[in-house]
Structure 1
């Protein structure tokens, strides 16, 4: 056990469940070591694995599946379906995402891409008005903003190929939660209130998520979702076809036709999951495995790590002006490349090898002035290249056999398009907004996209989702991911840097203040908690700094070290939970 874990714990059970320690070994009479997580987190020992997620009930569902003999994939699928019930803002049936899996027996990693696809009739200028300008309301909050969903297909694909339990068994807890209801938590009450005005503009969403009198469900009220229970039951009985064909599909298409949407029965029937090879890079003694295109996340995490590798980062000091300066300059160059090169690799040629090449990083680094910020306008995407979402959800699972799953999925915005499909209990995504509606102009997250990410029927929109694993000595050492739209990449990056470079435990790595720069707009966002003197120094170096009150992203992480599983959720945002064997 490393020395940083050997101090005594001062705060007892107040934060029970927020951070957990779970033995990856069979149970014995031996007690777990006393662990210090900055004196804020309670260690709990168990034997059958761990689920770290954004919501307690769904995390416990995954834990219970592990206890019933399921593997990490079984637990991940059960958690994913349960989040569709208990975390409606981002847990979903009608969204999409990416699942990164480490298979212990094969010592192999694979990536399941279940990103949404553009309906066949979607066109390049879908969201442009007669003046050639982007109609943002249509892009964000209309039936046309919905892409063909991938979540159900992806979870079922993972279950059938890599799980060990019957699909009905892993779906049963989600069905029970929807049918019988569960107490409204503070977090869920807050989320309904935060989006009440927009949700109530859609009659079906208003019916689903508010009382008959149109009020927000109070904390402690039993929240029942009968229509969603029926939809989940269709999936349990008929698998993939229970969602993509038959009554559920017909209800989706009926709502599309009523609202001038694009998704057809053919789009649903033709949806396919793609299993891809993850992107892999190295940082000093570590190997980093992450998400390939159509996500930009893994590629740019590796690209930024390549840029930072030669710097004496630890000597600079964590979140010092010198450290944050080189970190920011590296972020800017990666996001600039994102704007030009990234898109669906089944439709465009994404130069993955060239962008992640350490030689390319060496050439880019020559343009970094360690004393002065480079204006975004002076950073040209790919200038030295040798050619060749904020309301997502993430959860991480590990089992006793060493299998690990890092899964990120989303509706895009919180509650997606805020449009519900009558009779199904589910919200539509607004993932079409992740395409470049007008190449060269920014999307909802301020990200600039190019022709590589233009709209085309059947194409997957570019994403920032970044489920990631770090390997040390050939074994999984850290698995993490985050929601946050354009913030995802830099959130995951800083979490793994905190652990790799500064040798802190997983909870500290998750909770240290973060920064974010995405090239355009030319603005360095900084969380509260960074020294005001550091902010002034960064401003004197030419950075335009914005200090905000909100956390940037939110990781759900598991560290595997010394025979133990260490789990943490960023406690600066409400609702997260770490579940281990009871």
Structure 2
């Protein structure tokens, strides 16, 4: 699906009005908008600058995919902890014109020189061997080929301008950069992201990223060839050679994003779309929703002990299956029954409503490699009903911490998401199951869960989250809050979240220390659940569609913002 609409290169005018609609991403007091309504288009993202760029693209007639591409490139400038061109992710697109939804899989790959046992004696994930072949640029270009309407260069130029002209740091980013700089051993990171005069960054400072601007300019002019070949590719391979990394020029030229069919499941008459393997998100979410559908949670109430017991037990069972069976489908066979309604009904039948199931009863104790919470998610919808749910990452916060010398961008450390010790599975933190072992050109397992819920075949809820392995549980909570308990977008995003990952056998609950939930927590403990408090879980930037209105709810926890076209905020 393509629309015929062209215009000259965009000048980034953050928080401005333009012909055809108003971009609203910041209040008059200077704080980002957390909520908005619009009928013309909307972007919800962690960076107000990037959200505003995406909304401008919508205002100029771009599709939701055009907007998502521009938002993603802008995040590579303004949200360096996870926004990227040196990482990868998953984009779920519902075209809105009757054609099937697709998932664009641009997850990173292991280099050709990778070996099954390469990490047995290497536990330092901030080193060059942990860098996977980046997929973001290829993935965004594939999305543009399928669903874009505006010229590619117009979608990248706003990010070029942000990097070249600079952008203003908010307090959270200034503090985060100072912490990273204080512990970084990478000279190029300190040169590129350090304040020129050597003093700490403070809110209101302006950051200019000239090398990144040049790299983005090459991508704007040449597409993927401006990244996977030519000068940028030469800089990447030189960086790998200097640091003992594995990515070669051939790895870069061979990388391709994949088009995959989404995982489809049903809940209370809604159709839920999620990403397939190598993301574990869609199958695991489908299992949890399928189990929850066997119980009358609405009658019990959102904060009843019965509802939360069932939710925890659903998480426990789905995460056990995740660990044992899921990996890159190009290398392993995924059991076909895992996302089926019959299997969910069977699992629901194994839940004892009067007692927590010990996790060890569901299989041998396994602790998987930790996935960093430093991913980022954004949601987009356009006036024609095309919806995009996109989650992408560098893995750890600021990825490997390695900036490509002369190119100005951070590299991922996604290779750490593979099972590092083949055949060694124990309670001390090792997992050696074969499904997610390292293999050349294999994509590592992910928890990213970009999600679109359909009502009568049209987008109703667009959501997702960062958060490592907690991602799927965050999306489960937000989705249930809306579909089962009738919460508004704002209520669903703000509500405390729960996390259980099979092992370790404990429940993390954001409201564990809240007097409002004290009785429920005590009752869960009586059932045998080990409940602990957690301060933060995810960043669920969400759009709800109601009566033709797009209702955006940005997660307040990380300073996210809503940017809308034609909004009356």
Q: TM-score, normalised by structure 2?
A: 0.90
Residue 476 of structure 1 and its aligned partner are, at CA, apart by 1.0
Runs of 5+ in structure 1 lacking a partner?
1-11, 24-47, 130-134, 382-388
Q: Is 1:509 the counterpart of 2:492 in the alignment?
A: yes
Please give the residue correspondences for 1:437-476 in structure 2 after superposition, counting only pairs within 5 Å: 437-439=420-422, 448=431, 450-476=433-459
**2:412 aligned to 429, 432, 436, which one?**
429
CA shift digits 1:283-340 (9 cap, x unpaired): 1211101100000001110011111112110122213221111111110111101111
The CA distance in 2 between the partners of 1:184 and 1:541, in whole Å, is 47
**1:204 aligned to 185, 188, 203, which one?**
188
CA shift digits 1:53-98 (9 cap, x unpaired): 0010000000001111111010000000000000000000100000
**DSSP-derived class of the 2:284 partner:** helix
After superposing on structure 2, the runs of 4+ consecutive aligned residues of structure 1 that deviate more than 3 Å are: 12-16, 212-215, 439-443, 445-449
The residue number in structure 2 matching 1:86 is 78
The residue number in structure 2 matching 1:18 is 34
The residue number in structure 1 matching 2:521 is 535
**DSSP-derived class of the 2:351 partner:** coil
Q: Is 1:143 the counterpart of 2:135 in the alignment?
A: no
RMSD: 1.8
Q: Is 1:97 the counterpart of 2:103 in the alignment?
A: no
The CA distance in 1 between the partners of 2:429 and 2:219, in whole Å, is 37
**DSSP-derived class of the 1:426 partner:** coil
Do 1:465 and 1:482's aligned partners in 2 also have CA atoms closer than 8 Å?
yes
Residue 446 of structure 1 and its aligned partner are, at CA, apart by 6.8
**1:337 aligned to 314, 321, 325, which one?**
321
The residue number in structure 2 matching 1:178 is 163
The 1:325–1:449 alpha-carbon spacing in structure 2 relative to 1, beyond 3 Å, is farther
Do 1:206 and 1:214's aligned partners in 2 also have CA atoms closer than 8 Å?
no
The CA distance in 1 between the partners of 2:543 and 2:423, in whole Å, is 38
The CA distance in 2 between the partners of 1:239 and 1:93, in whole Å, is 12
**DSSP-derived class of the 1:531 partner:** helix
Q: How many residues align?
A: 529
The CA distance in 2 between the partners of 1:303 and 1:441, in whole Å, is 27
Q: Is 1:116 the counterpart of 2:108 in the alignment?
A: yes
The CA distance in 2 between the partners of 1:343 and 1:298, in whole Å, is 13
The residue number in structure 2 matching 1:40 is none
The residue number in structure 2 matching 1:576 is 560
Runs of 5+ in structure 2 lacking a partner?
1-26, 365-371
Please give the residue correspondences for 1:168-317 in structure 2 after superposition, counting only pairs within 5 Å: 168-198=153-183, 200-317=184-301
**DSSP-derived class of the 2:454 partner:** strand
Residue 450 of structure 1 and its aligned partner are, at CA, apart by 2.1
The CA distance in 2 between the partners of 1:215 and 1:526, in whole Å, is 39
**DSSP-derived class of the 2:558 partner:** coil
Residue 461 of structure 1 and its aligned partner are, at CA, apart by 0.2
**DSSP-derived class of the 1:195 partner:** helix
The CA distance in 2 between the partners of 1:331 and 1:447, in whole Å, is 21
**DSSP-derived class of the 1:147 partner:** coil
Q: Is 1:64 the counterpart of 2:56 in the alignment?
A: yes
The 1:449–1:482 alpha-carbon spacing in structure 2 relative to 1, beyond 3 Å, is farther
The CA distance in 1 between the partners of 2:35 and 2:191, in whole Å, is 36
The residue number in structure 1 matching 2:11 is none
Q: TM-score, normalised by structure 1?
A: 0.88
The CA distance in 1 between the partners of 2:91 and 2:402, in whole Å, is 26
CA shift digits 1:157-195 (9 cap, x unpaired): 111221001111111110000000011111211221332
The residue number in structure 2 matching 1:396 is 379
Q: Is 1:75 the counterpart of 2:81 in the alignment?
A: no
The residue number in structure 2 matching 1:8 is none
The residue number in structure 2 matching 1:156 is 141
The 1:518–1:449 alpha-carbon spacing in structure 2 relative to 1, beyond 3 Å, is farther
Residue 363 of structure 1 and its aligned partner are, at CA, apart by 2.0
The residue number in structure 2 matching 1:557 is 542
The CA distance in 2 between the partners of 1:262 and 1:505, in whole Å, is 48
Do 2:420 and 2:431's aligned partners in 1 also have CA atoms closer than 8 Å?
no
